[in-house]
Amino acid sequence: MPIAWMEPSSSALGKTKEFIKHGRERIGQTIKASGSRLCSYAERVAILMDRSRTSDSTTQPPTPADNINLGPSANPNAKPTDFDFLKVIGKGSFGKVLLAKRKCDGTFYAVKVLHKKTILKKKEQNHIMAERNVLLKNVKHPFLVGLHYSFQTSEKLYFVLDYVNGGELFFHLQRERCFREPRARFYAAEVASAIGYLHSLNIIYRDLKPENILLDCQGHVVLTDFGLCKEGMEEEETTSTFCGTPEYLAPEVLKKQPYDRTVDWWCLGAVLYEMLFGLPPFYSRDVSQMYDNILHKQLQIQGSKTVAACDILHGLLHKDQKRRLGAKTDFLEIKNHVFFSPINWDDLYHKRITPPFNPNVAGPADLRHFDPEFTQEAISASITHTPDLAASSSSASDAFLGFSYAPTEEDF
């Protein structure tokens, strides 16, 4: 059923405009870039806002003295000089992602290198802790990026992650403008499986967007970037942190109301809509107009889409989180929707379904699906050397106690 739209009263409209103005001002003051670059579809050239994450306005951020203690600070089994760093393959607010080859066995990894000073300056220790903790829990799911180990130097943090080189979903959308329904369904199903698994661990993701969805060399989805995840979210529990990426913010987040796991299903609906139509569902060049669209505008579906596709989009993008698809039985509702009836979920999980698109990469060194903006960038020498950890300032080293992680010695 289409979402009914009612003309707001003058008083309600005034409050909405005041809220949007306040929200826009706050975002301008506290926005933290998510690592996405300014990219465009043909319609978006030079007009897309920076896809970004916003901070929690309801919780006091930690001061530099409020350190995150995760246990012992050193991982004696790993250091930067263990790797040959070959290419820059991504960039974020706090550092870069590099293609690296471990010298001892020639294994390729994606190594995420973060600058401690930048993290401390922006008071982002909590997000780094959340990302590390969630990565440690994600080793058992086929559509979530895996953490092999992590270590630190006096200046930097290193995540050693699965390397996948099929490209960002956003990269392929940018090139192809939109996907046919079977292809969009396949990606949405694998993403939904990953989100459902996170929910089973009482984790909500909160930053689902095409930039955070990678494809592996066969064309399967790999969800990455867990910096905005919220742990400890039991069924029907809510949180109120204002965070996410503007185009994909759910109405309840914009209203600064308590929200639950269904915020991830809204984001899935927004990503599915973008895969089918080429733009997010309520997109506008003007930020305040886009927020007003998210809060009040009826979902518009144009073109010859199947009844099942229209129905699931209306269900996932329902403005009332209590009536949204997934509100009752979470992932079970999603997988049982008629839109996914062609999907055998057991085959999907075990990767027995052939992906609709093969990236056709020749090997780990094939970087055709990475943006040349990154791969042509020189690698800083500071990333590759191993300074003395004891030489670090006490504030920088103490703030990341226990960041390092090593599963077993034989892994090295």
In this predicted model, what pLDDT tens digit does every residue of 232-256 receive, in sequence order? 899 889 999 898 999 999 999 999 9
Task: Give the annotated binding-site residues for ATP.
Answer: 121
Which CATH architecture is the domain 68-165+364-411 placed in? 2-Layer Sandwich (3.30)
Residue 129: band (very low, low, confident or very high) from pLDDT cuts 50, 70, 90? confident
131-150: average pLDDT: 85
Kindly state the helix (H) or strand (E) to which residue 152 belongs, with its residue range. strand 147-152
* pTM, rounded to two decimals: 0.80
pLDDT at 121 over 50: yes
Mean pLDDT of the chain: 80
Rounded to whole angstroms, the Cα distance separating 49 from 31 reads: 12
Tell me the longest C-alpha to C-alpha distance in the chain.
Answer: 68
Which pair of tokens denotes residue 61? 């951020």
Q: How far is CA 306 from CA 82, 86, 312, 344, in A?
A: 52, 45, 10, 20
Q: Please state the rounded mean pLDDT for residues 131-147.
A: 85
Read off the tokens for 359. 């990236």
Q: What is the percent of the chain where pLDDT is above 70? A: 75
Using CA atoms, how far residue 255 sits from 3, 22, 411, in Å, is 18, 11, 47
**What is the separation of C-alpha 33 from the centre of its chain, rounded to a whole number of angstroms?**
12
* pLDDT of the residue at 9: 38
Per-residue confidence (pLDDT) for residue 68, from 0 to 100: 41
**Does the structure show a pLDDT above 60 at 24?**
no
The CA distance from 20 to 282, in Å, is: 15
Coil, strand, or helix at residue 251? helix
Instruction: Give dist(CA 43, CA 47) in Å, integer.
Output: 8
Q: pLDDT tens digits, residue range 160-209?
A: 999 999 999 999 999 999 999 999 999 999 999 999 999 999 999 999 99
For residue 401, the model assigns a pLDDT of 66
Higher pLDDT, 45 or 210: 210
**Range with lowest mean pLDDT among 17-26, 185-194, 201-210, 328-337:** 17-26
Sketch the domain layout of the chain as residue ranges: 10-58+168-349, 68-165+364-411
259: left (phi over 0), alpha (psi -120 to 50) or beta: beta
Q: pLDDT category, 310, cuts 50, 70, 90? A: very high
Least confident of 100-114, 192-206, 369-383: 369-383
Q: What pLDDT is recorded for position 101?
A: 95
Query: How many Cβ atoms sit within 10 Å of the Cβ of residue 371?
Result: 19
Quote the pLDDT of residue 386: 67
Residue 366 and residue 163 in contact, taking contact as beta carbons nearer than 8 Å: no
DSSP state of 157: E
| Three-state secondary-structure class, residue 360 | coil
Angle between helices 181-200 and 262-277 (to 10 degrees): 160
Confidence at residue 49, expressed as pLDDT on a 0 to 100 scale? 32
Residue of 393 and 250 predicted with greater confidence: 250
Kindly report each contact of residues 65-70 with a partner whose C-beta sits within 8 Å and lies 24 or more positions away, as own/partner.
65/395, 66/125, 67/125, 67/398, 67/399, 67/401, 68/125, 68/126, 68/128, 68/129, 68/399, 68/400, 68/401, 68/402, 69/401, 69/402, 70/129, 70/132, 70/400, 70/401, 70/402, 70/403
Query: Is 10-58+168-349 a domain of CATH 1.25.40.10?
Result: no
Are 389 and 74 contacting, i.e. CB atoms less than 8 angstroms apart?
yes
Catalytic positions are 207
